[in-house]
Amino acid sequence: MTETLRVARTKIEIPPLILIGVFRRHWCSLITAFSLRLKTISKMGAGGRMSGRKNVLERVPITKPPFEMSDLKKAIPLHCYKRDLLRSLYYLLGDLAMCFTFYHFATTYIPLLPTPLGYIAWPIYWFCQGSVCLGLWSIAHDLCHHAFSEYAWVDDALGFVLFSSLLTPYFSFKYSHRSHHAHTNSMEYDEVWLPRRKVNTLYTEVLNNPLGNLFLTVLKLLLSYPMYIIFNAHGRKYDGFVSHFYPQSPLFNDSERKLVWLSDAGMVVVFYTLYKIIAATSATWLFCIYAAPLLVMNAHFIFLTFLHHTHPSLAHYDSREWDWLRGALSTVDRDYGVFNNVYHDLASAHVIHHLISTIPHYHTMEATKAIKHILGDYYNYDDTPVLKAFWRETTECIYVEPDEGAEDSGVYWFRK
The tens digit of pLDDT for each residue in 265-306 reads 999 999 999 999 999 999 999 999 999 999 999 999 999 999
Structural domain containing residue 123: 2-415
Handedness of CA 183, 188, 189, 193 (dihedral sign): positive
Coil, helix or strand at residue 413: strand
Whole-number pLDDT of residue 210: 77
Residue 1: the pLDDT is: 57
Mean pLDDT of 205-229: 83
Q: Report d(CA 333, CA 337) in Å as an integer.
A: 12
49-101 residue pLDDT tens: 444 556 888 999 999 999 999 999 999 999 999 999 999 999 999 999 999 99
Please give the Cα distance from 32 to 47 (Å, whole number). Answer: 24
Domain count, the chain: 1
C-alpha atoms less than 13 angstroms from C-alpha of 407 in its C-beta half-sphere: 3
Query: What integer pLDDT is reported at residue 161 of this predicted model?
Result: 98
**Residue-level pLDDT at 182:** 96
Report pLDDT for 234.
Answer: 82
DSSP states along 47-67: HHHS-S-SSTTSPPP-SPPSS
What's the length of the chain? 416
**Percentage with pLDDT > 90 across the chain:** 72
Using alpha carbons, select from 18, 20, 64, 309 the residue that is nearest to residue 181.
Answer: 309
Three-state secondary-structure class, residue 334 = strand
Does the pLDDT of residue 137 top 60, yes or no?
yes
What mean pLDDT is reported for the chain?
87
H/E stretch holding 193: none
pLDDT exceeds 80 at position 27: no
- Give the mean model confidence (pLDDT) for residues 338-346: 93
CA distances from 293 to 127, 160, 248, 307, 335 (A): 6, 20, 31, 21, 23
Nearest to 415 by CA among 213, 224, 255, 195: 195
Cα separation, 365 vs 357, whole angstroms: 13
